[in-house]
A and B are shown apart, each in its own frame.
Chain A
Amino acid sequence: MPTPLVVSEVAKSFTMHLRDGITLPVVAGVSFSVKKGECVVLGGPSGVGKSSILKMLYGNYAVDAGQILIEHHGQLVDLASAAPRSVLEVRRDTLGYVSQFLRVVPRVSALDVVAEPLLARGVSHAEAIEKASDLLEKLNLPRELWQLPPATFSGGEQQRVNIARGFITDHAILLLDEPTASLDAKNRRVVVEMIVAKKAEGVALLGIFHDEEVRDAVADRILDVSAFSPRKVAA
Chain B
Amino acid sequence: MTTVPLLKVNDVSKFYGGRIGCRNVSFELWPGEVLAIVGESGSGKTTLLSCLSTRLMPTSGVVEYHMRDGQYRDLARMGEAERRFLMRTDWGFVHQNPADGLRMTVSAGANVGERLMAVGDRHYGQIRATATDWLRRVEIEVDRIDDQPRAFSGGMRQRLQIARNLVTSPRLVFMDEPTGGLDVSVQARLLDLVRGLVHDLGLSAIIVTHDLAVARLLSHRMMVMKDGAVIEQGLTDRVLDDPREPYTQLLVSSILQV
Whether B195 is near chain A, meaning CB under 8 Å from some CB there, is yes
Whether B142 is near chain A, meaning CB under 8 Å from some CB there, is no
| Contact present for B242 and A61 (CB under 8 Å) | yes
Task: Report the separation of the CA atoms of residues A58 and B237 in the bound assembly, to the nearest whole angstrom.
Answer: 10
Residue-by-residue, is A78-108 near B (CB-CB < 8 Å gives 1, otherwise 0)?
Answer: 0000001101100000000000000001111
| Contact present for B244 and A15 (CB under 8 Å) | yes
Interface positions, chain A 2-18, Cβ under 8 Å from B, are 14-18
- Among B65-73, B105-113, B161-169, B185-193, the stretch that binds chain A is B185-193
| Contact present for A106 and B235 (CB under 8 Å) | no
Task: Report the separation of the CA atoms of residues A229 and B184 in the bound assembly, to the nearest whole angstrom.
Answer: 43
| Contact present for A88 and B192 (CB under 8 Å) | no
Contact partners of A106 in chain B: CB under 8 A: 188-189, 191-192
Whether A62 is near chain B, meaning CB under 8 Å from some CB there, is yes
Whether A59 is near chain B, meaning CB under 8 Å from some CB there, is yes
Residue-by-residue, is B83-109 near A (CB-CB < 8 Å gives 1, otherwise 0)?
Answer: 000000000000000000000000000
Choose from A15, A18, A60, A85 the contact partner of B250 (Cβ within 8 Å): A18
Choose from B188, B238, B249, B250 the contact partner of A59 (Cβ within 8 Å): B238
| Contact present for B189 and A59 (CB under 8 Å) | no
Task: Report the separation of the CA atoms of residues A119 and B199 in the bound assembly, to the nearest whole angstrom.
Answer: 10
| Contact present for B188 and A88 (CB under 8 Å) | no
| Contact present for A18 and B249 (CB under 8 Å) | yes
- Contacts A17-B245, A88-B220: A107 and B192 contacting too (C-beta < 8 A)? yes
Interface residues of B (CB under 8 A from A): 30, 33, 188-189, 191-192, 195, 199, 217, 220-221, 234-235, 237-238, 241-242, 244-246, 249-250, 253
Q: Can you name 7 extra interface pairs (CB under 8 A) apart from A17-B250, A59-B235?
A: A59-B238, A61-B238, A106-B191, A106-B192, A107-B188, A107-B189, A119-B199
- Can you offer 12 A-B residue contacts whose CB atoms are under 8 A? A16-B249, A17-B246, A17-B249, A18-B246, A18-B253, A60-B237, A60-B241, A61-B241, A62-B234, A84-B238, A105-B195, A106-B191
